Amino acid sequence: AQTVTQSQPEMSVQEAETVTLSCTYDTSENNYYLFWYKQPPSRQMILVIRQEAYKQQNATENRFSVNFQKAAKSFSLKISDSQLGDTAMYFCAFESGTSYGKLTFGQGTILTVHP
Amino acid sequence: DVKVTQSSRYLVKRTGEKVFLECVQDMDHENMFWYRQDPGLGLRLIYFSYDVKMKEKGDIPEGYSVSREKKERFSLILESASTNQTSMYLCASSIRTAPDTQYFGPGTRLTVL
C-alpha cells in the first residue's frame, strides 16, 4: 500500500515571499501521479498542480511549481510571491496508474500568509 | 464549472441513529468518492464508485455503506452512528481516466452525540 507523508503540520510566510511545502511518498509502482490540493478556510478543496511520474520535467502553474525527485520519492510544492489568498490547508496526494482515480492523501500542511 | 453538492453543511445526530449523507455532481463523472477528514490524519477514503451500482471499499469502510442508484448521486450511509464517526465528510467526483482532477463538495461536518 502507498503512503504519503507531510512532515510540516503548519507553515507561515510573509506576503510576497517564497515558501516550500514538503511531501514524501512510498510506493513500489513505476506508473503513478502526484497532486497538490488546496483547501481554503471554509471553502472547497481544489487542485493546485499535478505531476506524472514518467515526466522528468517539473510541473509549473503560474506561481506554483513542484520539485519532483523520483528516486528520493519526494514531491515538494513551491509557492512564489505568496499572496493572502494562498492561506489554506495543502494536501499532497498519490494516485496509482491502475487505481480508477483513487487517491491517497498526506496529513496536510496549514499554510498562513501574513501581510 | 463542475459542481459537487452535499446535502448538509452541518449535521448533528444521536448515537445509534441511521444517517444519510448525499452527494450530487452535475458533470456526468463516472467516479465518485467519499472521504472523511480528521485533524492530523488528512483525508481517508471510505468508499468509491466507478459506475452506477458499483462500489468498492476504501481504506476505512467499517461502519459505513454506500449507494449509487444514479450516475450523478452517491450516498454514504452510517447504519448506526457512533461518536467516533464525528468528522468532516467530503464527497468528490472525477472522470474515469487517470490522471484526472477530483472535484470536491463543500463537506458535511457531522457530530454524533
Residues B103, A35 contacting (CB under 8 angstroms): no
Give the whole-angstrom CA distance, residue A67 versus residue B33: 28
Give the whole-angstrom CA distance, residue A64 versus residue A80: 7
Size of interface A-B (CB pairs under 8 A): 64
pLDDT classification of A42: cutoffs 50, 70, 90: confident
Residue in chain B nearest A98 by alpha carbon:
B98
pLDDT one-digit tens code per residue, A96-105: 888 767 899 9
Residue B94: list chain A partners with CB under 8 A. Answer: 101
CB contact under 8 A, B50 and A107: no
Residue in chain B nearest A8 by alpha carbon:
B40
Pick the residue of A49, A98, A103, A104 with the most B CBs within 10 A to test the interface with B by mutation: A103
pLDDT one-digit tens code per residue, B20-55: 999 999 999 999 999 999 999 999 999 999 989 899
The mean per-residue pLDDT over the stretch B72-85 comes to: 97
CB contact under 8 A, B102 and A6: no
- Report yes or no: A46 at the B interface, CB cutoff 8 Å: yes
pLDDT one-digit tens code per residue, A48-71: 999 999 998 999 999 999 999 999
CA distance A115 to chain B (A): 26
pLDDT at B98: 63
CB contact under 8 A, A52 and B41: no
Phi then psi for residue A85, to 5 deg, are -70, -5
Cell numbers describing residue B37? 477528514
Angle made by CA atoms B110, B111, B113, in degrees to the nearest 5: 150
Chain-wide mean pLDDT for chain B? 93
The mean per-residue pLDDT over the stretch A68-93 comes to: 97
Give the whole-angstrom CA distance, residue A50 versus residue B93: 17
- Report yes or no: A27 at the B interface, CB cutoff 8 Å: no
Report the 10 Å Cβ neighbour count for A80: 14
